[in-house]
Chain A
Amino acid sequence: MIEIKNITKQFGKLKALDTVSANFTEGQAISLIGPNGSGKTTLIKCLLGMVIPDAGTIHFKGSDVTTSCDYRRDMGYMPQIGRYPDNMRISQIFDMMIDLRKNYTTQLDEELINAFDLRKQFDKPMRTLSGGTIQKVSACLAFLFDPSVLILDEPTASLDPVASEVLKNKVLKEKNKGKLILMTSHILSDLEEMTTDIVYLQDGKLQFFKSVEALKAATNEQRLAKAIASVMSKGIQVQMNGMNGNGHTPPSPKEFSRTVNRREMTIKI
């Protein structure tokens, strides 16, 4: 469904994505993981056309995404930090989005709106909302047009446990309908139950892209989090096992945290 070929993106001196290639297909629920600043959000934004790659191509259902914006009709996006016009009310945001996209959709999926009981707050202006409520709005908007691809950037980051659970159920349900789900998160346990595949990014490079089963088998770990931690510490081994490696050596944990911190300083552009 989505073919990513050798995309590279550089912000100043920082390589946010370095020749990343991957194919995503229907029915997959893919977790994009990696340390802060490893290029997860950049990759997502490339898929959405919000960031233009310096090199490489992205095809969606066989056609190049740079030729037309129409492929986004099939996408629902929930940003990491939803940002909305301050002086609009929630209802107005929904009305506007429906108005702008209604030509492309027959059926609106309002299941999440009901599940979150968001209608109670419809009259509130966006600027008065808490981070959690904004996330709920973002989630509802992502699912509203029943898209075949769902891109969720840190979906559960600021949701309360109840809302988080509601969202997870929804994601699971959509996945089972055969949709492609792309998520980023660094809280692994959150994703574990829905994930089918893991993409691990570091320093803009794709370290591996493997199904959960294969990962668990390779690391002899039953729990995903442990499996990944194991990969992170024994990166070389994993790569030597042929897991989509490209000869890159992951830094030691100490080095790693240092690079992360530096990255956090510089990535805020």
Chain B
Amino acid sequence: MKIIRYVLYDILRSRMIIGYTAFLLLVSAALFATETNASKSILNLLNIVLIVVPLVSIVFTTIHYYNSYQFIELMLAQPIERMKLLLSEFLGVILSLSAAFLIGIGLPVLLFSADGSGISLLISGILLTFIFSSIAFWVAAITQDKAKGIGVTLLLWFYFSLIYDFIVLFLMFTFSDYPLEKAMLGFTALNPIDLGRVFVMLQMDVSALMGYTGAVYKQFFGSALGMFFALGVMIMWAVVPLFLAIRVFKKKDF
């Protein structure tokens, strides 16, 4: 997997990742500096992480993929397996994005608020990075055109961050006469951003606000089984698109 080295080298040269790190560092430093209550900072940080991490992950990965097209073409004529090549690209991207996240958010969180909620924020941030990079690889593998690919990934981000929740809200209005606790659990699992948010919020005791739904959530995600379920679903969210990306990539013509 020597290729990862060249992928990383290429990413670091673009300076985008350094800007991302600096931005995250700035935001978390500002939040921890202005807010004396660490758990409140975590909450504010959560709001930012849930928007920025998926957005940057999905857009950065897509751009990187299209920019690496030449490199990929060059590598394809070499005795290198396609799966290895794509995995190297994937690992290179998530390694650098995760490193940026861990420096930008991880360090301040570990310094100022290394408790359950802080750690779970880091876990879900990393998982969201994986998930949205993986989705981006899938989209980019399918879509030949760069502009179209970036457009599709932006739409997907918009869908997961905003539209999905509107749909859920709409469904709640429509089916408000039915018991929805279990359904809500399902709805949450179908959107990695929601899953990440609920995962962190349950560590933050906000669940007491959620009344009966919260109790169901807490009961479910609070148990070891539920925790594994949440992590498992998030990992599935990362693995499945990557698997599909590899499948498309293996059959792709260059």
Q: Which residues of A contact B (CB under 8 A)?
A: 9, 11, 45, 48-52, 69-73, 75, 77, 79, 83-88, 96-97, 99-101, 104, 269
Contacts and interface: CB of A to CB of B under 8 A. Distances in A.
Interface string B46-75: 000000000000000000000111110111
B77 A79 contact: yes
Given A85-B74, A87-B10, 17 more contacts: A48-B76, A50-B73, A50-B77, A50-B253, A52-B252, A52-B253, A69-B81, A70-B79, A72-B77, A85-B10, A85-B68, A86-B67, A97-B78, A99-B2, A100-B3, A100-B75, A101-B78
Contacts of B254: 45, 50-51
Contacts of B6: 96
A71 B74 CA distance: 16
Contacts of B67: 86
A48 B77 contact: yes
B36 interface: no
Contacts, number: 62
Contact of B79 (A52, A86, A101): A101
B80 to A, nearest CB: 6
Contact of A77 (B3, B69, B70, B77): B77
A75 B70 contact: no
Contact of A83 (B2, B70, B80, B251): B70
A11 B253 CA distance: 9
Contacts of A11: 253
A70 to B, nearest CB: 6
Q: 4 tightest A-B contacts by CB?
A: A83-B70, A72-B79, A51-B253, A77-B77
Contacts of B73: 50, 79, 83
B144 interface: yes
Contacts of A50: 73, 76-77, 253-254
Contact of B70 (A52, A70, A71, A86): A86
B253 to A, nearest CB: 4
In this complex, the member of B3, B79, B80 whose beta carbon has the largest number of chain A beta carbons within 10 angstroms is B79
A62 B80 CA distance: 20
Contact of A100 (B2, B13, B82, B253): B2
A32 B71 CA distance: 26
A72 B14 CA distance: 31
A73 B67 CA distance: 26
Contacts of B3: 100
A60 to B, nearest CB: 12
B25 to A, nearest CB: 25
A142 B71 CA distance: 16
A40 to B, nearest CB: 15
Contacts of A71: 79
A83 B74 contact: yes
B76 A100 contact: no
A100 B80 contact: yes
Interface in B198-254: 251-254
In this complex, the member of A49, A73, A104 whose beta carbon has the largest number of chain B beta carbons within 10 angstroms is A49
Contacts of A51: 253-254
Nearest to B250: A52
A45 B253 contact: yes
Contacts of B82: 69
10 contacts: A9-B253, A45-B253, A45-B254, A48-B76, A52-B251, A72-B80, A75-B77, A84-B74, A87-B10, A100-B2
Contacts of A52: 251-253
Contacts of A101: 78-79
Nearest to B68: A85
Nearest to A42: B253
Contact of A69 (B13, B79, B251, B252): B79
A242 B254 CA distance: 35
Contact of A87 (B13, B69, B78, B253): B13
Interface in B2-50: 2-3, 6, 10, 13-14
Contacts of B68: 85
Contacts of A49: 76
A49 B10 CA distance: 25
A85 B71 contact: yes
